[in-house]
Homo-oligomer: A and B are copies of this chain.
Amino acid sequence: MLANDIDAILVTGSGMHNPAMVYLTGGGHFNGDYIKKRGLPACLFVWPMERDEAAKSGLEVRSYTDYPFHRLLVQAGGDRAQASAMQYSRMLADMNISNGRLALYGISDLSQSFAVFSNLQQLLPGLSLAPLQDSDLIETARLTKDDGEVERIRKIGKVTTQVVGNTADFLTGHSVKNGVLVKRNDSPLTIGDVKSRINLWLAELGAENPEGTIFSIGRDAGVPHSAGNPNDLLRTGQSIVFDIYPCEQGGGYFYDFTRTWCLANASDEIQAVYEQVLSVYNTVLEELEAGKDFSIYQKRVCDLFAAMGHATPLTNPGTLEGYVHGLGHGIGLDIHERPMSGSKASAHETLIPGAVITIEPGLYYPEKGYGVRLEDSAWIRPDGKFEILAEYPLDLVLPMKAS
């Protein structure tokens, strides 16, 4: 906190799906405010009915009922945001926080939180809720993972590859009629059917996918974040982009993984583009060096793809064909966190040992009806080696079992 010139921290919101809160409290079934003054122990404010869940954090737990909202609401003339701001000002006062710099965190509803904290800033002019500059305290702490965190990511990685393996088995076990996968009753298999299975396998293995799963075929596979149309059929020979990013149940650590598959066979064109993506993937994985800027490798990948004749963000900013996104990003309690490589990266986001990052080159040709992406998540080990946390074959073509 010293290094960042921060005098106090306030994290608001749920103990689930709220990275800063989960990071600092361990998470749980509560909605609260974590408040810490520099050099003093933190407190967690919650409603009494969540006191036991909050107490699992090991922190001192205090109750909102000591700051009766109803009375504050009357004093504030019925203005809820003002009443909440008054409640915060009292909670902060009781923690001896009245001046200096207060850093705000937490996933929250902007319609309430912006109003509340703007009002709080007015109530406490001596306290600066001023925007943080680039180097953020908790973000920096979260950047490097300790052994326990790496093991949790590795575990959710194994869940991921197990579900991916189940999906491959499930798909290749179907019969094919006129180029379409069909069920036993001869009705066509849909992407919706496949996604239902994926959700089921994730639930069985104790994971969830709060942000969905990308399983898209044909033209949709050519648009990186198209999630896939549930009514689309599974056709042989078309490229399927399967990007799966589950997290631990309740909103813990994420994994991020992509394979591109063609069922039964691939056209020469898709095969050739796949081999280009694979070669770039292998080249960059070999070249990555801990301590270097992530953006160096984004540039390197752009250069490699450009040399193969593809458009890239460097040669054609805003291109919708060719290589159209960043090389990767950190993962952890968020699916996208520091370090970043692409267009939202800061000047120097280094591949610091302890970080876990994705490497995900891809090529996209929506108008030609295909896209290819390969992605693994790698831990930058203390010895500087990049270790993929859940290995899985990179094959493009999945032969059908029945044929």
Q: Which residues of A contact B (CB under 8 A)?
A: 12-14, 16-17, 19-20, 28-30, 47-53, 63, 65-66, 68-70, 73, 78-82, 103-111, 113-119, 129-134, 136, 138-139, 196, 199-200, 202-204, 206, 208, 210-212, 214, 220, 223-227, 249-251, 317-318, 320, 324-325, 343-344, 346-347, 364
Contact between A12 and B110, CB atoms less than 8 A apart: yes
Q: In the complex the two chains form, is B107's CB within 8 Å of A318's CB?
A: no
A258 and B350 CA atoms in complex are apart in Å by: 49
A249 touching B49 by the CB < 8 A rule? no
| Contact with A343, one of B69, B138, B203 (Cβ below 8 angstroms) | B69
| This chain: copies in complex | 2
Considering the chains assembled together, what is the distance between the CA atoms of A130 and B117 in angstroms?
A: 11
7 A-B contact pairs sorted by A residue (CB < 8 Å): A17-B210, A29-B227, A48-B320, A49-B223, A82-B131, A105-B110, A106-B109
Cβ B317 vs Cβ A65 within 8 A: yes
Which of B17, B136, B344 is the one whose CB lies under 8 Å from A69? B344
A65 to B343, CA, bound (A): 9
In the assembled complex, the CB of A284 is this many whole angstroms from the nearest CB of chain B, namely 19
Closest to A204 in B: B200
Interface core residue of A103, A138, A226, A343 (most chain B CB under 10 Å): A226
Residue from the set A14, A52, A65, A214 with the largest chain B CB neighbour count within 10 Å: A52
* B115 contacts A111, C-beta separation under 8 Å: no
Beta-carbon contact of A107 and B107 below 8 Å? yes
Let me know if A110 and B108 touch, CB within 8 A: yes
Instruction: Report the separation of the CA atoms of residues A225 and B52 in the bound assembly, to the nearest whole angstrom.
Output: 8
Decide: A111 near B118, CB < 8 A? Known: A48-B318, A227-B29.
Answer: no
